[in-house]
Amino acid sequence: MKIVILDGHTLNPGDLSWEAFEALGEVVVYDRSTPEEVEERAKGCDVLITNKAIVSAETIRNTDSLKYIGVTATGVNIVDVDAASERGIPVTNVSGYGPDSVAQMVFAHILNFTNRLAEQVDDVRDGGWIRSEDFCYWLHPLTELRGLTIGIVGLGEIGGAVARIAHGFRMKVIAYTRDPDRESPDHVEWVGLDELFVGSDFVTLHCPLTPETEGMVDERRLRLMKPSAYLLNTGRGQLVNEQALADALNDNKIAGAGLDVLSSEPPSPDNPLLNAKNCSITPHIAWATRAARERLMQMSADNLKAFVEGEAINTVN
């Protein structure tokens, strides 16, 4: 069985092993594949593994040997699932491999805003402490999290991990769910979506990207937020109207935004958030701790192994 990994670099830049896949067949790993390269590289393979490389309907229909497509991520929008289904090719994904890693990044952004750690470290490096007349100083007021309210949009595995950390900081936790009859976890209060934006000191997004949630953080919802509030997005960039958020930041309508995702990645140079005030952006790395990538690697290989043994799991079609 020939296994072609189209874009292995993000999952494994060299610190992990492909041995779990190598135990299942001949493995060919490409660090990256352009759309033009995917179809050529897919020729003659039985298995395609992709993270963000697009597997189009044309590639699926033109690769006669193809029997399986595995996505080393949760979202599968980069695969034409309908075309795969037409040919009886299972498409699998992986979920639940990194909720703690993503939640950790949420609080890295929150603590960056409340403790101003990066700014203080840079100022010490630039001689600020040497020049100080006092034994300590701070560039901005420092904020304690205890008693502040965090609003979680989407309380799945990641949102639940965020809620547990927030409770550890003795924050008030409110959340929005699409299922109003669902029992709320301990220390979490269900609220309406607009109520969440009104009442939160931090709004953090953990809902899936759907036609209903695309652009949900728009000018109207940003106007609901406190001027002292922060928006966090480690979900999908398309959940946010980026121009509306940039305008809100530049006009001091909200205090700041911590983002790990943007609508297009890498972003275009004219993305309005790149130069917006008080906007901290990390390059889609919340998922990428070594521990989470190890789990993702093993779970992806387990999906393929189950297919080889005749019991396909985690299929999306």
pLDDT in tens, 184-199: 899 999 999 999 999 9
- Give the pLDDT of residue 307: 98
Catalytic: which of 265, 290, 293, 309? 265
What percentage of residues in the chain have a pLDDT greater than 90? Answer: 97
Catalytic: which of 164, 167, 284, 295? 284
Tokens 């309508």 sit on residue? 253
Catalytic: which of 109, 236, 242, 293? 236
Residues 140 and 206 in one domain: yes
Domain membership of residue 49 as a residue range: 2-95+290-308
Number of structural domains in the chain: 2
Residues 135 and 85 in one domain: no
- Give the pLDDT of residue 93: 98
Is 284 noted as a catalytic residue in this protein? Answer: yes
Q: State pLDDT tens for residues 236-259.
A: 999 999 999 999 999 999 999 999
Four-CA torsion 164, 169, 172, 176, nearest 10 degrees:
-30
Q: Determine, yes or no, domain membership for 316.
A: no
Q: Determine, yes or no, domain membership for 233.
A: yes
Residues 66 and 202 in one domain: no
Residues 62 and 205 in one domain: no
Residues 80 and 108 in one domain: no
- Give the pLDDT of residue 181: 84
What is the rounded distance in angstroms from the CA atom of residue 71 to the CA atom of residue 49?
6
Residues 23 and 158 in one domain: no
Residues 161 and 258 in one domain: yes
Tokens coding 100: 């703690």
User: Residue 56: which CATH number?
Assistant: 3.40.50.720
| Separation of CA 104 from chain center | 12
Residues 90 and 103 in one domain: no
Q: Is 88 exposed, middle or buried (CB count within 10 Å of its CB: 0-12, 13-18, 19+)?
A: exposed
Q: Determine, yes or no, domain membership for 40.
A: yes
pLDDT at 180 exceeding the cut of 80: no
Residues 30 and 174 in one domain: no
Q: State pLDDT tens for residues 67-80.
A: 999 999 998 999 99
Residues 119 and 267 in one domain: yes
Q: Determine, yes or no, domain membership for 315.
A: no
Q: Determine, yes or no, domain membership for 10.
A: yes
Alpha-carbon Rg for the chain in angstroms:
22
Residues 170 and 186 in one domain: yes
Q: Determine, yes or no, domain membership for 314.
A: no
Is 9 noted as a catalytic residue in this protein? Answer: no
- Segment 26-42 shows an average pLDDT of 96
- Segment 127-135 shows an average pLDDT of 97
Q: Is 176 exposed, middle or buried (CB count within 10 Å of its CB: 0-12, 13-18, 19+)?
A: buried
Residues 142 and 270 in one domain: yes
- Give the pLDDT of residue 89: 98
What is the rounded distance in angstroms from the CA atom of residue 89 to the CA atom of residue 103?
34
Q: Determine, yes or no, domain membership for 242.
A: yes
Q: Determine, yes or no, domain membership for 146.
A: yes
- Segment 109-121 shows an average pLDDT of 96
- Give the pLDDT of residue 179: 87
